[in-house]
Copies of this chain bind each other. A is one copy, B any other.
């Protein structure tokens, strides 16, 4: 190995000492999604990463429903639905309204349905 007096140092664990393309690394680094933001996004995607939650959202995309009917529609236990709604609520993807002893849920806004339709389309393209 040539005795390169490279003052590499660097605080990042990189491939050995000589980065393949240090320029690229330096160039890309600031463009990379910051960790904090990445976590936010991951959290949001995580909400949509469950089949049952997607089905719940797709049901609510049509009209508001109470927990009970929702459970019937998506064929889940009411407790499970309630747990999931709690999750969706915490991220303000759905809103609710109490009427008597029922609680009616609906999508918080239509951005959710837009987004989810976005992916649905992409999937259709993808699954050729």
Residues of A participating in the B interface, judged by any CB pair closer than 8 Å: 11-15, 19-21, 24-25, 27-29, 31-33, 35, 37-46, 48-55, 58-59, 61-63, 65-66, 68-69, 71-75, 77-78, 92, 102, 111, 115-116, 118-120, 122-123, 125-127
Q: Which residue of B lies closest to A76 (CB)?
A: B13
Interface on chain A toward B: helix, strand, loop, or mixed SS? helix
Indicate if the CB atoms of A41 and B48 lie closer than 8 Å: yes
Cα of A52 to Cα of B33 in the assembled complex, Å = 9
Residues of B within 8 A of A49 (CB): 42-43, 45-46, 48-49
Q: Is the CB of B44 within 8 A of A119?
A: yes
A54 touches B73 (CB 8 A): no
